[in-house]
Amino acid sequence: RSLYMRLYSISDQKEAKVGEVGLVSEFGTEWNFIWRRHLFMWEEEVLLSLKEDLVGVRLSNLEDKWRWKLEDSGIFSVSSAYKRLEGSILNEVGWRVEEKGVFKRLWKCPSFSKVVAFAWRAILNRVPTKANLILRDVLRPEVNPLCGLCNREEEYVLHLSVHCDVASEVWLKLMSRPFLRVFVSVGGEQIFTAMECTAAA
């Protein structure tokens, strides 16, 4: 379907199973494709390429079923999906070693899943703050970008969750550990270092 999109688009067998298209005999597999119109010459060449790719494909009488490639058993597991996504996201963005460590500890944090998910989105700057919504053209540029809590600075993720006066008061009331005073005073990439030191404390 993805390799031969043109042929798929003109096929009359889009919902057919493999066993309904291929006829197994002692001489091999004979493919019976049905098209909604006659093929152009260049489409005939594409069809020939498809048939060449199908040479050696062995069909069985067993019913088709989904198989999860990341597990030897073929059965889907959350852990294997998480590891694949974790690797692709961390490698794609190019996080430093200490930043990757923060992400790994974040997902192991014994907190409510929605809290962990919010923290993950905040670190990736994927929280729908005014600044992000304006940047993505969800809000018009003329919309007031100032924080809805303090109305002093632009509503960025870091400001809203850490630097805002209202947010700082909440942090100080919830936690009295000494590191918090350091944590709320840092900014940008320094947050990763602060969280790294916090985890080691």
pLDDT tens per residue, range 118-173: 888 888 888 999 999 999 999 998 999 999 999 999 999 988 888 899 988 887 77
Say what the pTM is.
0.46
Based on the fold, state whether residues 102 and 10 are members of the same structural domain.
no
195 and 118 in a common domain: yes
127 and 42, same structural domain?
Answer: no
Q: For residue 81, give the nearest of 107, 116, 101, 100 by alpha carbon.
A: 107
In a domain, 164, yes or no: yes
Q: Are residues 100 and 160 in the same domain?
A: yes
Average pLDDT over residues 19-45: 85
Instruction: Identify whether residues 41 and 128 lie together within a single domain.
Output: no
Helix (H, G, I), strand (E, B) or coil at 138: coil
Are 176 and 106 members of one domain? yes
Each residue's pLDDT tens digit, 70-111: 999 999 998 888 788 777 766 656 667 667 777 777 777 788
Q: What's the rounded Cα separation, in Å, for the pair 143 and 121?
A: 23
Nearest to residue 196, comparing CAs of 83, 96, 82? 96
pLDDT score of 188:
47
What is the per-residue pLDDT for 177? Answer: 57
Split into its structural domains, the chain has a count of 2
Q: What residue has token string 């490698």?
A: 91
* Residue 73 lies inside a defined structural domain of this protein: no
| Token reading at 53 | 């790719």
Q: Is 62 part of any domain?
A: no
Question: Measuring CA to CA, which residue among 152, 151, 162, 155 is closest to residue 187?
Answer: 162
Contacts of 104 (CB under 8 A, 6+ apart): 86
Q: What is the CA radius of gyration of the chain?
A: 27
Asked if residue 187 is part of any domain, the answer here is yes
pLDDT for 199 equals 46
194 falls within a domain: yes
Q: Decide if 23 is inside a domain.
A: yes
Same domain flag for 115 and 189: yes
Q: Is the dihedral of CA 183, 187, 190, 196 positive or negative?
A: positive
Considering the domain architecture, whether residues 35 and 117 belong to the same structural domain is answered as no
Query: Are both 46 and 110 inside the same structural domain?
Result: no
- Identify whether residues 98 and 190 lie together within a single domain: yes
Helix (H) or strand (E) holding 22, with range, is strand 22-25
Task: List the structure tokens of 101.
Answer: 């460590």
Q: State the pLDDT confidence band at 178, using cuts at 50, 70 and 90.
A: low
- Whether 198 shows a pLDDT value over 50: the answer reads no
> Is the pLDDT score of 37 beyond 80?
yes
d(CA 137, CA 144): 14
For residue 32, give its domain range: 5-54
Q: How many helices (H) and strands (E) does the chain have?
A: 11, 2
